[in-house]
Chains A and B, each alone.
Chain A
Amino acid sequence: MSKMKSKTIERWSPWIFLVSVVLLWEVICSGFGVSEFIFPSPSRIGQQLIEYQDVILGHAWRTFWVTMVGFFIAIVVGVLLGFIIGSSRIAYAAVYPLMTAFNALPKAAFVPILVVWFGIGAGPAILTAFLISFFPIMVNIATGLATLEPELEDVLRVLGAKRWDVLVKVGLPRSMPYFFGSLKVAITLAFVGTTVSEMTASNEGIGYLLISAGSAMQMGLAFGGLVVVGVMAMAMYEIFDYIERHTTGWAHRGSQN
């Protein structure tokens, strides 16, 4: 009985917490009379979201599809690179240091360069989303492939298994939990990349909305844009989390029992 109750509480806890934060925010804003130009209250943000919903929806759709295109490229490139460097020690040794250095670069710094190459528009945003999100995918695939039990490899090699057999029969399925785990991280990063790029190199998208609302002192609208990006990223995260739990349940058996 009490176990059921604690389970229900656990299930609803994110919503309870969210509602309490919003309520606290509202109380502070109205209680201390904070100006809406400095820090708008949740009710003001909601009001603005409804008032400008057509505009926001248009920008949100743009940000969404741009992010998904960049993310899709990141999956393709990340899986391919991860497969290559995870399946060969030499490739791993050769590529990994350079990749780490590349990953350390701030991706926002690429935006001006991408603008020169592709002009203002969807191009730089897609590529920024891709650049920022392929790295975790690549690393996770490579890790899954590279950390194989030596004994299992012996069992298969004795049978005459080629490197390819071991990769396909054992390596790839083994790296699936890592892969889905990385997708959850990568999709949120991809939204960051798109938004950052749109802030300087686009006339559409939530990033553009944030900048133009900010310069017009429409703080409610700017906050509304942030909320929309947050909701989109969270929704995608939940979708990949769901896929992960339903495809690689064997890797999470501890939590299922």
Chain B
Amino acid sequence: MSKAFVDFENVWLAYNDELLAQENFAVEDINLSVNQGEFVAIVGPSGCGKSTFMKLTTGLKMPSKGRILVDGQPVTGPLKISGMAFQAPSLLPWRSTIDNVLLPLEIVEPYRSNFKTNKEAYMARARDLLASVGLKGYEDKYPWELSGGMQQRASICRALIHEPKMLLLDEPFGALDAFTREELWCTLRDLWEAQRFNVILVTHDLRESVFLADTVYVMSKSPGRFLVKKEIDLPRPRDLEITYTPQFTDIVHELRSHIGAIRQTTLQASA
């Protein structure tokens, strides 16, 4: 059909058989196609199934109905071509920053088999990656010696070290203060500009989604459905200044009104 890199065709998911029998779905009728190298953001109220969507994309969960193709292949199990980062950096406290970043290489093939022989090369790769997010000089520090923003940078490096084709981010900047968050937007933007991997960013920050993404999807809450697809045609590369232009604000407002509409309808439904 299309040459989409990630392709959801009428995907439904219920968490277990019981819920399936009751037709109680966490996400419903998801149709989505993401092109190679596209930056996609998914926004919606909390509890709307955004994280479920991530689990479907990585193959950690199988859809109850419909099918998911990634890179032309049906997803049948965990997808090693993806890297993930979450709101909590979840770095291992007994490993130094660089060893944390190297962790995926100790697990995923083909790196796993030759990890010992190529360790020097991988160390160099990890150092470069850390330097590119501004963590030069912190390689041998332990996670608890880093600030929250630095830990999150290291966490993103860990997600990227095995050069995944797809980066999945689940509210990665949610726990950071506003200044650090904007700094990390730029870090992510630069990484993406340089490597052009696919990104699926789950967030509830509309400015974040508009600033970073090519396409923003708005999701509704229970059932989780995609309501709106919005292409962001702001020119790239984007600078932080762009977030203060009327053009940018208009898009954010438009998306905001969709979210507002969702809230109203759910309130009416529950009333």
**Are A and B co-members of a single complex?**
yes
Q: Say whether B93 contacts A169, CB under 8 Å.
A: no
Q: A156–B109 Cα gap in the complex (Å)?
A: 12
Q: In the complex, which residues 109-165 of chain A have their Cβ closer than 8 Å to any Cβ of chain B?
A: 149, 151-152, 154-161, 165
**Residues of chain A within 8 A of B244, CB atoms compared:** none
Which of A158, A170, A174 contacts B84, CB < 8 Å? Answer: A158
Residues in B neighbouring A248, C-beta threshold 8 A:
94
Bound CA–CA A156/B82 (angstroms): 11
Q: How far is the CA of A157 from the CA of B82 in the complex (A)?
A: 11
Which residues from B are CB-within-8-Å of A173? 92, 94
Interface residue? A250 (CB, 8 A): yes
Interface string of B83-117 (1 = CB under 8 A from A): 11110101011100000000110111100000000
**Given known contacts A149-B90, A151-B86, A160 and B103 CB-to-CB distance under 8 angstroms:** no
Task: Encode contact with A along B159-187: 1 for CB under 8 Å, 0 otherwise.
Answer: 10010000000000000000000000000
- Given the interface pairs A154-B84, A160-B109, A169-B106, the reply to whether A250 lies near B144 with Cβ below 8 Å is yes
The smallest C-beta distance from A176 to any residue of chain B, in angstroms, reads 8
Q: Which residue from chain A places its CB closest to the CB of B162 in the assembled complex?
A: A159
Q: Are B80's CB and A170's CB within 8 A?
A: no
A239, CB-defined interface residue at 8 Å: no
Neighbour of B80 across the interface among A151, A159, A169, CB < 8 A:
A159
Q: Which size class do B's interface residues fall under?
A: 20 to 34
Given A169-B106, A250-B144, A253-B144, CB of A157 within 8 Å of CB of B90:
no
Is there an interface contact between B144 and A161, defined as CB atoms closer than 8 Å?
no
Q: How far is it, in angstroms, between the C-alpha of A251 and the C-alpha of B143 when the chains are bound?
A: 12
Identify B108's interface contact among A152, A159, A250, A251, CB under 8 A: A159
B15 in the interface (beta carbon within 8 A): no
Q: Contacts A169-B103, A169-B106, A253-B144 given; indicate if A158 touches B60 (C-beta within 8 A).
A: yes
A158 contact from B79, B103, B142, Cβ within 8 A = B79
In the assembly, what is the distance between CA of A165 and CA of B142, in Å? 22
Asked whether A157 and B78 contact (CB < 8 A) given A151-B88, A169-B103, A250-B142, the answer is yes
Docked-complex contact B94 and A156, CB < 8 angstroms? no
In the complex, A156 Cα to B58 Cα: how many Å? 12
Q: Which residues of A contact B (CB under 8 A)?
A: 149, 151-152, 154-161, 165, 169-170, 173-174, 176, 248, 250-251, 253
Residues on B lying within 8 angstroms of A by beta carbon are: 55, 58-60, 78-80, 82-86, 88, 90, 92-94, 103-104, 106-109, 142, 144, 158-159, 162
CB-defined A-B contacts under 8 Å, sample of 12 = A157-B60, A158-B82, A159-B108, A159-B162, A160-B80, A160-B108, A173-B94, A174-B94, A176-B94, A250-B144, A251-B93, A253-B93
